[in-house]
Amino acid sequence: MNFSSRLIEEAVSEFSGLPGVGRKTALRFVLHLLKKDKKEVQAFGEAFIKLRNELKYCTTCHNVSDQEICEICANPNRDHSTICVVEDIRDVMAIEGTSQFRGVYHVLGGIISPMDGIGPGDLNIESLVAKAGTGNVKEVIMALSTTMEGDTTNFYIYRRLKDQPISISTIARGISIGDELEYADEVTLGRSIINRTPYANSLSLK
Amino acid sequence: MNFSSRLIEEAVSEFSGLPGVGRKTALRFVLHLLKKDKKEVQAFGEAFIKLRNELKYCTTCHNVSDQEICEICANPNRDHSTICVVEDIRDVMAIEGTSQFRGVYHVLGGIISPMDGIGPGDLNIESLVAKAGTGNVKEVIMALSTTMEGDTTNFYIYRRLKDQPISISTIARGISIGDELEYADEVTLGRSIINRTPYANSLSLK
């Protein structure tokens, strides 16, 4: 595509670097920005520069935060002896959205993926091991994706923590609520039978 | 969604103002930017601010340009007596991509759409009428979308230009090349029979 303007060419290149955005979509974004007034576009560009320069990560759980310690870690009403291990901040938001978890989080910043060149050293695992060794932690809940990479990361962390006097659990895998049994895959259905839960438990859920 | 950071909240709001981008996609873009280094994000934000502040529109055809007169209008080898009327700069790129047009363009900057509150006064129509009145123009080719809005705009411009000694044409509507006849819609198929072209014409196309 010939954009007849170097400025448009540059802006399209920047947008098309975003995940899932091709050059046609990028051009659509650029034309949208051109219809806005200068102040709005100024605010648009500055929001990202400010974000990158000013955003802090919580020194305890590695969640994003405007402070040194994030709101969740600073909250005395939360159970600091239960740590939920997640891949990134989107998972924190998803679990917070359920209002079912009152403990604290630990954000790994990714999962072990040799294909993408991500090893245990690239993730926030050492600080988790250190936290688990303080004696203040009773339970670590692994809440990673149910993929090959997620399972590898689960196993690596399990090996690092298994000698500590803490219980290590993973979130339940089973049939999603609202799913028809006949369409469930065999692995999930098999696991859901092995890991069956007492019926009385489901009655107590609100 | 609770983003646990005002900076992320702002950046997500900015991205989700783009066409077709929801809050989940916006968050994905933001996390992508956070993984880049500060210099790259600086360049990302500044590209759009610079684009909006420095981009010029060609004073002749309203195409985007880094100069006062765009490359196409400034080119003496192009046929300045044939003007192709298009909706926006994407259409200029699309037609330039075919290498079949040697005339110049006129970018309307939109089409007449009462539903969206866009009337003839919001478009670059007066400058087209003025250009057509100079006596240097022989033909105006309407290359707008084949929608209700496109047809309305075609008709409005036809009414404004019909008393000038110039020929006014629209791009051919018919069966796309590679299409099966039985799947073509009735209106297109009907028009393609009425507007049939001599077979010898298609032989001369390279």
Beta-sheet pairing, B64-65 with B79-86: unpaired
Gap from B64 CA to chain A (nearest CA, Å): 7
Rounded (10°) angle between helices A23-35 and B38-54 = 50
CB-CB neighbors (< 8 A) of A54 in chain B: 7
pLDDT tens digits, residue range A18-57?
Answer: 999 999 899 989 988 988 888 999 999 999 999 888 888 8
For the cut 70, the answer to whether the pLDDT of residue B204 exceeds it is no
For the cut 60, the answer to whether the pLDDT of residue B160 exceeds it is yes
**Average pLDDT of chain B to the nearest whole number:** 88
Looking at the partner chain, which of B45, B55, B72 has a beta carbon nearest the beta carbon of A34? B55
* Per-residue pLDDT, A29: 92
- Does this model's pTM top 0.95? My answer is no
A109 and A98 in contact (C-beta within 8 Å)?
no
* Per-residue pLDDT, A204: 63
| Widest Cα–Cα separation across chain B | 69
| Percent residues over pLDDT 90 in chain B | 47
Across B29-46, b (16+ Cβ under 10 Å) vs e yields bbeebbeeeeeebbebbb
Give the residue on A whose Cα is nearest the Cα of B50.
A7
Interval B29-52 mean pLDDT: 90
A187 interfacial to chain B (CB closer than 8 Å): no
* Per-residue pLDDT, A199: 76
Gap from A164 CA to chain B (nearest CA, Å): 31
Looking at the partner chain, which of B27, B49, B72 has a beta carbon nearest the beta carbon of A41? B49
A:B CB pairs within 8 Å: 156
pLDDT tens digits, residue range A73-111?
Answer: 999 999 999 999 999 888 998 898 888 899 999 999 899
Gap from B11 CA to chain A (nearest CA, Å): 5
Name the residue among B147, B153, B149 with its Cα closest to residue B173: B147
Gap from A190 CA to chain B (nearest CA, Å): 32
Name the residue among B127, B44, B68, B109 with its Cα closest to residue A35: B109
Rounded to 5°, the CA angle B91-B92-B94 comes to 60
* Contact across the interface for B19 and A42, Cβ inside 8 Å: no
For the cut 90, the answer to whether the pLDDT of residue B141 exceeds it is yes
d(CA B59, CA A15): 28
* Per-residue pLDDT, B126: 94
Gap from B96 CA to chain A (nearest CA, Å): 8
For the cut 90, the answer to whether the pLDDT of residue B84 exceeds it is yes
Looking at chain A, list the stretches that DSSP marks H as alpha helix, in order from N- to C-terminal side. 6-15, 23-35, 38-54, 71-74, 89-98, 126-132, 148-161, 186-194, 199-204
* Per-residue pLDDT, A104: 94
B159 interfacial to chain A (CB closer than 8 Å): no
pLDDT tens digits, residue range B57-70?
Answer: 899 999 988 888 88
Topology of domain B66-171 in CATH is Dna Topoisomerase Vi A Subunit; Chain: A, domain 2 (3.40.1360)
B133 and B164 in contact (C-beta within 8 Å)?
yes
Gap from B58 CA to chain A (nearest CA, Å): 11
Q: Residues 96..115 of A with a Cβ closer than 8 Å to B: which?
A: 96-97
* pLDDT-derived band at B202, boundaries 50, 70, 90: low
Topology of domain B6-54 in CATH is Helicase, Ruva Protein; domain 3 (1.10.8)
Q: Residues 45..84 of B with a Cβ closer than 8 Å to A: which?
A: 45-55, 63-66, 70-72
pLDDT tens digits, residue range A140-178?
Answer: 999 998 889 999 999 999 999 988 899 999 888 888 888
* Per-residue pLDDT, B81: 93
* Per-residue pLDDT, B158: 92
CB-CB neighbors (< 8 A) of A63 in chain B: 4
The CATH class given to the A70-171 domain equals alpha beta
Q: Check the CA dihedral B116-B122-B123-B125 and report its sign.
A: positive
A92 and A150 in contact (C-beta within 8 Å)?
no
- ipTM (interface predicted TM): 0.75
* Per-residue pLDDT, A124: 94
CB-CB neighbors (< 8 A) of B11 in chain A: 47-48, 51
Between A61 and B195, the more confident residue is A61
pLDDT tens digits, residue range A120-134?
Answer: 999 999 999 999 989
Domain spans of chain B?
A: 6-54, 66-171
For the cut 80, the answer to whether the pLDDT of residue A2 exceeds it is no
* Per-residue pLDDT, A1: 62
Q: Check the CA dihedral A81-A86-A90-A96 and report its sign.
A: negative
* Contact across the interface for A33 and B44, Cβ inside 8 Å: no
B55 and A74 in contact (C-beta within 8 Å)?
no
Which whole-number Å values give the CA distances from A100 to A161, A172, B121, in the listed order? 25, 14, 56
